[in-house]
Amino acid sequence: PTSAAGGLRIRVHGDLHLGQVLVVKGDAYLIDFEGEPARALEERRAKHSPFKDVSGVLRSFDYAAAMAVRSAQSVDTSPEAADARKRVADTYLAQARETFIEGYRSATTGIAHAWKDAKGEDAALELFTLEKAAYEVIYEAENRPAWLAVPLQGLRGLLQSSDGESI
């Protein structure tokens, strides 16, 4: 099934992130399929772009990196250690995103839809990732203000073009 604009629409998890993935003996299991609890049941059951879930996983890489950096800060507070943590986190983010997107594209190669070309998929993924980051800003402000920097940094990064200019 596709939307009027030609994009693929399927039942999605609706709240997919690394915290919803259990790894047992080398297998990954997705859990918690009720979707975003704050949304109405009808909305959670509606079909959406698979990029809704893809963007959720991509955004959760930011959270994983931020929590690892935050945890390591108590061990060494020197500027050199802070720089090293940032480099490691940036490398992790780039590799995790690239690997996940490559895996997604490899798994969906045979699914035809209007946005199948790389530019169309990139644009759709960017849109859904912006939407997810904006949602996270509101969620963190209301529920976990100490974590607000994570989606704000992600949103800032998403709003910058590849040459560093703001869009």
- For the stretch 17-58, pLDDT in tens is 999 999 999 999 999 988 887 889 898 889 998 999 999 999
Task: Provide the 3-class DSSP secondary structure of residue 9.
Answer: coil
What domains appear along the chain, each with residue ranges and CATH number?
A: 50-158 (3.90.1200.10)
Of 76 and 4, which is predicted with more confidence? 76
Structure tokens at 150: 């994570």
User: Residue 108 pLDDT more than 90?
Assistant: no
